[in-house]
Structure 1
C-alpha cells in the first residue's frame, strides 16, 4: 500500500481531486460567463463582472499551480484565502435567520474549512519538499551521531 501512495501518479491524482471544486467552478464561470456574473451579483459582490473574472483567475491559476506541483504552496494559499473569503462574504450562516438556509450555510462553511485544511497540508508538504536535503540531515549540535527510530 505504501508503494502505491508513493507513486507520482497517486500524488497527482490527490492534487487534482483536492482542487476539483475550484477548477470545475472556474471552467464553468468561464464557459457560462453571464451566469457567473449573475451569481456574483446575487451574492452582493459588485462590480459583478470584476468579481467573476477574479474568481476565474484565482480558481484556475491556483488549481494549476497545485496540480502541476509548481509553486503549489502559492496556489494552496490563494485557494485557501479565496475559500475563507467565501465563508465571510457568501456563506454567512450567523447572519441568516431562516431555516433550513442557516443550517445549509453552516454545513457549507464547515466543508470549506475542511477544504482549507487540505490546502494547508498541500502548502506544508510543498514547502518541506522545497527544503534542501542537507537541512533534514543536519548533524546534532552536541556532536554525537543522531539515532533514527
Structure 2
C-alpha cells in the first residue's frame, strides 16, 4: 500500500471518522426515535411491536449505545454485536421479502442483502477490535 494511503488509514482521526460513518444509520435512527417519539411509536406499531413505547425506547437505546461503544472504541465488540443482532432481527420483522409479491419482494430482498452486508461490516469491526495487531502482523510478514 502506498505510504500516503497507509498514513491516512492508519491515523486515529480516520478510524474515529470511519466508526462515525459506519454507525450513522443507527445513531441517527436512535436520535430520531427519541426526538420524535410519536413517530417512533408509530413505526413500532406499524411492525406489530407492542407495547410500542417500550420497543421505541429499547430500539433507540440499542442503536445509540451500540453506536457509542463503536465510536468510542470501548466495548467495541459489544456495540458491534448489539447492532448486528438488531439488524438481523429487522429482517424477519420489517423485510420479510419471502412473504411478498413482486415488485416489493425484489425491493425488500435488496434491503435484506444490504442488511447482511452491514452485519458483515460489524463483524469486521468486532474482529478488528479483538485483534488490533492482526493486520500489522500480516503487513510485516510481506
Q: Same fold (TM over 0.5)?
A: yes
Q: Give 1 or 2: higher helix fraction.
A: 2
Query: Which of 16, 27, 30 is equivalent to 2:31?
Result: 27
Uncovered stretches (5+) of structure 1, i.e. residues with no partner: 137-147
CA deviation after TM superposition for structure 1 residue 118, in Å: 0.5
Structure showing greater radius of gyration is: 1
| Alignment partner, residue 58 of structure 2 | 54
Using the alignment, how far apart are the partners of 1:123 and 1:130 within structure 2?
Answer: 13
Per-residue CA shift, 1:88-108, capped at 9, x if unaligned? 2111000112x3221221111
| Alignment partner, residue 44 of structure 1 | 48
Question: Displaced runs of 4+ in structure 1, greater than 6 A?
Answer: none
Alignment of 1:1-149 (within 5 A): 1-97=5-101, 99-129=102-132, 148-149=141-142
Uncovered stretches (5+) of structure 2, i.e. residues with no partner: none
CA deviation after TM superposition for structure 1 residue 130, in Å: 8.8
The residue matched to 2:131 in structure 1 has which SS? helix
Structure 1 residues 67, 79: CA separation in 2 closer, same or farther (over 3 Å shift)? same
State the TM-score, normalizing by the size of structure 2. Answer: 0.89
Using the alignment, how far apart are the partners of 1:72 and 1:52 within structure 2?
Answer: 23
Using the alignment, how far apart are the partners of 2:85 and 2:98 within structure 1?
Answer: 20
RMSD of aligned residue pairs (Cα, Å): 1.6
Using the alignment, how far apart are the partners of 1:107 and 1:55 within structure 2?
Answer: 23
